[in-house]
Amino acid sequence: MTQFFNYAVPGIPFGCVFALMAVGLVLTYKASGVFNLAFGAQAFVSALAYVSLIEDGWPRWAAGVLAVFVLGPVVGVLLDRLLFRRIRTASPLVKLVPSLGLLVALPQLALIIAGSTPDIPPPALFVNAQRVYLHLGSVPLSGLELSITGSTVLVVAVLVALFRFTPVGLEMRAVVESPRMTELAGVNAGRISAFAWILSSVMAALAGVLLAPLYSQLDPQNFTVLLVWGIAGAVIGRFSSLPLALLGGLFLGVAQQIVAGYLPAGIIATGLRPSLPFVVLLIFLPFTRQRQFDDPLAGCDPPSATVETETLGYRSATTLAGAGEDDVHAVGLWHRRLGLEGPDAWWYRFVRRPTSTLAWVLAALAVLSALTWVPADWLLTMTQGIAFGVIFLSLTVLTGMSGQISLCQATFAGLGGFAAGQLADHFGLPVVIGMVAGGLLAAALGVIVAVPTLRLAGLPLALATLAFALLADNILFPNSWVGNGASGVIVPRPSAGPVNLSASKPFFLLSLAILSVTAGIVKLIGDGTMGRFLAAMRGSELAASSVGIDVYRLRVVVFAISAGLAGVGGALFGSLEGSLSPTDFNYQISTVLLVVVAIVGLGSISGAVVAGLVYTTLQVAVTTLPSRYAGLVAVLFGLATLSYTRHPEGFLDYLGNRTLTFIARNGAMSRLMGRSGTGGRGQPPRNEGAGNPDGDVLVPTPAPGGAT
Amino acid sequence: MPSPLPSWPSLLVATGISKQFGGIQALSELSFEVGRGEAVGIVGPNGAGKTTLFNCLLGLETPDTGSVVFDGVRIDRLPVWKRSRLGIGRTYQRMELFRGMTVADHLLVSEQASSGTFRFWRDFLNRGGPTPGELHHVQEVLDLLGLEAMADRPVDGLDLGHARLVELGRAMMGAPKLLMLDEPSSGLDAGETARLSTVLASLRSARTTAVVLVEHDLQLVESAVDRLCVLNFGRMLASGRVDEVLADTEVRRAYLGAGG
């Protein structure tokens, strides 16, 4: 018992910080409908400001006050005003991507502004961090631990007083219960929501400042790890109960210390500790009712006009090519055969299809000609882009076609790469076969992820996969037989047989071939029956199963396919680089992958390819800048999420639709299609500037499901 | 009920279904039967257990007790999609359409799913084009429901009346033996209700598909069903010919609020 006590007490300060995070997350989730993953970034930004100011000679209390009570709320209110308020009724993906983008971008932006990471170890807020002030039993309590616990108790006391005794607290409690009802009762929910954001941001900032002394140097990654603990606490609080979230955070802090204390040292103990959030998520998520996750405002709000053109998911190239201005939503093309227009119409057969084929041939020629005129280092970048294109294709299938959100795609890619390298190393297997094997192994891992998460969708699925990625980073990849820890795994270039593919140009061709094959598979899936089933599942799992689709099996299959594609891409990337280490594909890369491909376009194969090329090109371009701007790519994509909320179909489709609309409006297409001018079927006049890129859904009518 | 009803060979037999949510007995020892080609209406006040009965029959809820036999097969342990493939189609009170898909695609997906062939590998050969037979069925249902003109439109922009018809059409694909419609007329205006009524009448006269209709609109129910059941507090209050059931004093007290 004494031992238990000795393990448990040091966990309390951790628990306090987790609890602060969990409460802050629940507060904004309930008040604004957005699960604020940027919370970890907010904590980092304040911590960075705090330490930087002290480095500049500010007194600690002044730096603390500025970082927690000025900078924190300012960032929070800005996030609310600029971004989160606009997407409160959007789909889970549209809500998730911006906060993920900001999670990565905000710290980098702060680092660019600050110039560099402060050199001094972060000091504690009030007291001497290291000095032991008192003993609880035989457990020494340092100033740091005391200040963390004391501050948390203070915050909780203030919160309780606020909620209990003040009018704004009462209103906030009401908003948390039912935002719309509260608004109908005459309360300005927007003001209350802003207030919730201020409170939550203060908590984020406080958590950041309090925790900073735990680390010898400030690193955004540490704060993301903390965030995952906070998420687990929020899940224990079922995303809705503030007291439960508080207790959940405390419990996790104590539990992780106990787990670490009792288990023998080694990879299990060091690995089990970070995997606790995943276990908690898997245990608690299924018990929370799915519907309340989808939208805490469900049934109250009509879809907002700006996000009326939701992520439309994958559409085949033929659909895009054949789609007129008011048909870009179509999945598959076959049904146009029912009418006069369509693939059998003369204009399509003699104009559209050859044009489209010609475009592909020209593109292929252009790419091949790159072999002759592109400098060698850029050829390397392009090859990297192709490898990432294959990885992005895995998200085209999973998120674009079937609507599932995964934050562990990099884990699949990493496993594929490691498998290829290990097989080549231990069994002398040719790398190309190793790539296939890596893909298959990754597919198996995909099944392992899919089965326990079958009942989750949207945000809970994303969180569970994020926790899984973290778990894999901690207990799978450090093993010598997988990722071999920090030293990584050597993945040779293929050189088997008479053809030597290891030089950069042949390897480029090999990558291109692999991309073609994988893209072909994705296209066949998307255009076929399976694509239609996936689209149905994306639309409504409930209805899909009630028309006879085995949704669970379909989900396992699509996870396996997606993970397999990611594995092949990861193996290709590893082979290109020559070696692969776990940091190449950690959980943070997973979040970046989703953000990048969502911004460029989840709706098409070209979206994935362009995303790969843009991503790697930007990364290379940034290396030419001073080292201060190393995080610029993350910042760019993070800021791009601001426009993503207006155009969730992705940048590429947005451009494509614009072009189609332009052609159609200028009459050329219309005449070919035998239509008159704009608005083919008597639709109301289009309405520019309402965030309606293709003018499809012109009247922001509530979705049919919304009215009962 | 001592009314002479035509006897139908039984299609769906549910016996002794009970379902409890916390302290609320949503269904208690309810037995319910549908004959082949029969049209049955279910009415009852809100909270009577109509939707729970639907969910228990269709597999969205697992009943605490009781058995469900459909077409000679015991289905109460089967997942939703298997029951659907046996030949049960349904619509939802709160619409469940596939966002972003066109009207025709809704029907095609349902047709392909109900035939049970996953066709993953065949997709790689014929590029997933639907067979002429499937297209023909889609066209038939589009014609029947008058949705022909909007076959290529995505459902997101449809008005509620057409959206409900799309749901009905989706449930009708794959020639189901039983259609279960959960308040199909809620939210419809008079004209849309009339169109729905026409469709239901044609279904009834064809006698190939049994229909279970949960509905508050008594006029619609009266014209569309052979038999009417009244649920109240999870129990079957009455069952029989429409006019007789509606004349029943207990029914009037429970449902219509008339003082008996």
Residue position matching structure tokens 């009415």: B43
Please state whether beta strands B10-21 and B88-90 pair in parallel, antiparallel, or not at all (unpaired).
Answer: unpaired
User: Are A554 and A661 within one domain?
Assistant: no
H/E stretch holding A568:
helix A551-577
Amino acid (one-letter) located at B219: Q
Q: Is A702 a member of any domain?
A: no
Q: Angle formed by the axes of helices A220-236 and A242-262, to 10°?
A: 120
Q: What is the pLDDT of residue A46?
A: 92
Is the predicted pLDDT of residue A311 greater than 50, yes or no? no
A338 touches chain B (CB under 8 A): yes
**Residues B187, B189, B195, B199, Cα dihedral to 10°:** 20
Q: What is the DSSP string of A248-285?
A: HHHHHHHHHHHHHHHSPTTHHHHHHHHHHHHHHHHHHG
Region A490-512: mean pLDDT is: 80
Residue B78 pLDDT > 60? yes
Q: Which domain holds residue A603?
A: 376-645
At residue B21, the pLDDT reads 85
Percent of residues, chain B, with pLDDT higher than 70: 90
Give me the pLDDT at residue B215, please: 87
Task: Answer whether B98 sits within 8 Å of A543, measured CB to CB.
Answer: yes
What integer is the mean pLDDT of A107-123?
80
CA dist., res. A194 & res. A57, Å (int): 33
Let me know if residue A690 belongs to a domain.
Answer: no
At residue A670, the pLDDT reads 47
Same domain, A82 and A173: yes
Indicate the residue among A229, A252, A287 that finishes a domain: A287
A547: closest chain B residue by CA: B110
Among the residue ranges A120-134, A236-250, A339-353, A619-633, the one predicted with the least confidence is A339-353
Segment 669-708 of chain A within 8 Å of chain B by CB: 681, 696-699, 701, 703-705, 707-708
pLDDT computed for residue A615 by the predictor: 93
Residue A223 lies in a domain: yes
Quote the ipTM score. Answer: 0.89
Give pLDDT tens digits for A594-639.
999 999 988 888 889 999 999 999 988 888 888 778 788 888 888 8
Note whether A219 and A264 are same-domain residues: yes
Same domain, A227 and A96: yes
pLDDT per residue as tens digits for the range B230-252:
888 888 888 888 888 888 877 77
A435 and A455 together in one domain: yes
pLDDT band with cut points at 50, 70 and 90 for residue A313: low
Q: What count of Cα atoms within 13 Å lies in the side-chain half-sphere of residue A666?
A: 6
- Per-residue model confidence as pLDDT tens digits over A20-29: 889 989 888 8
Residue at A168 is within a domain: yes
Spatial contact of B246 and B43, defined as CB atoms under 8 Å apart: no
- Name the residue in chain B with its Cα closest to that of A550: B81
Is the model's pLDDT at A701 over the cut of 50?
no
Domain presence at residue A328: yes
Residues A207 and A348 in one domain: no
What is the domain count for chain A? 3
Least confident residue range of A25-39, A243-257, A511-525, A607-621: A25-39
Nearest CA distance, A698 vs chain B (angstrom) = 8
Mutate to test the interface with B, among A328, A455, A547, A692 (most CBs of B within 10 A): A547
With tokens 């001497």, the residue in question is: A128
Average pLDDT over residues B102-108: 89
How far away is chain A from the Cα of B60, in angstroms, using its nearest Cα?
9
Is A449 a member of any domain? yes
CA distance A617 to A383: 10
Name every chain B residue with its beta carbon within 8 A of the beta carbon of A335: 102, 104-105, 108, 138, 151-152
Structure pTM? Answer: 0.84
Cross-chain Cβ contact B135/A696 below 8 Å? no
pLDDT of residue A612: 94
The mean pLDDT value for A643-659 works out to: 78
Sorting pLDDT into bands at 50, 70 and 90, what band is A266?
low
Opening angle at CA A580, ends A578 and A584, nearest 5: 130
Find the residue in B nearest to A558 (Cα).
B120
Confidence band for A452, pLDDT divided at 50, 70 and 90: confident
pLDDT digits (tens, 9 = 90+) for A363-393: 778 877 877 777 878 888 999 999 999 999 9
Q: Mean pLDDT in chain A?
A: 78
Mean pLDDT over all residues of chain B? Answer: 84
Q: Which residue has the higher pLDDT, A141 or A304?
A: A141
Q: Find the residue in A nearest to B158 (Cα).
A: A704
DSSP designation for B156: G
Nearest to B129 by CA among A326, A109, A344, A328: A344
- Identify the pLDDT of residue B171: 92
Interchain CB contact of A531 with B (< 8 Å): yes
pLDDT, one tens digit per residue, over A32-45 is: 778 888 888 999 99
Q: What is the mean pLDDT of residues A664-680?
A: 48
A615 CA: distance to closest CA in chain B (Å) = 29
Residue A167: per-residue pLDDT: 84
Same domain, A638 and A668: no
Phi, psi (deg, nearest 5) at residue A579: -155, 160
Q: Is the dihedral of CA B11, B17, B21, B23 positive or negative?
A: positive
Task: Specify whether A367 is located in the same domain as A438.
Answer: no
pLDDT digit string (tens) for A78-90? 888 888 877 777 7
pLDDT for res B221? 87
Chain A: nearest CA to B25, how far in angstroms?
20
**Whether residue A319 is found in the same domain as residue A242:** no
Q: What is the pLDDT of residue A171?
A: 81
> Nearest residue on chain A to B156, judged by CA atoms?
A703
Look up the CATH number of the domain holding residue A104: 1.10.3470
Nearest-angstrom CA–CA distance, A399 and A96:
12
Please tell me whether residues A427 and A278 are part of one structural domain: no
Structure-block tokens of residue A95: 């809500």
**Which residues in chain A touch residue B152, judged by CB atoms under 8 angstroms apart?**
327, 330, 335-336, 338-339
Q: Where are the alpha helices (DSSP H) in B25-131?
A: 50-58, 80-87, 103-114, 120-126
The share of chain A scoring above pLDDT 70, in percent, equals 78
| Coil vs helix vs strand at A592 | helix
CB A409, CB A462: distance < 8 Å: no
Task: Give Dmax over CA atoms of chain A in angstroms.
Answer: 87
Number of inter-chain CB pairs under 8 A, A vs B: 179
Q: Same domain for A367 and A392? A: no
Contact A538, B131 (CB under 8 A): no
* Residue A703 lies inside a defined structural domain of this protein: no
| Least-confidence region, from A421-425, A600-604, B124-128 | B124-128
Q: Residues A438, A349: one domain?
A: no
Q: Nearest chain A Cα to B165, which residue?
A: A704
Higher per-residue pLDDT: A518 or A290: A518
- Strands of the sheet with B88-90, listed across from one edge: B88-90, B178-182, B210-214, B39-43, B227-232, B235-240
Phi, psi (5° rounding) for residue A488? 80, -175
Residue A332 pLDDT > 70, yes or no?
no
Specify if A672 maps to a domain: yes
Per-residue pLDDT for B260 more than 60? no
Q: Which of B60, B108, B158 sits opposite A704 (nearest CB)?
A: B158
Can you tell me the distance from the alpha carbon of A544 to that of B79, in angstroms, rounded to the nearest whole number?
A: 12
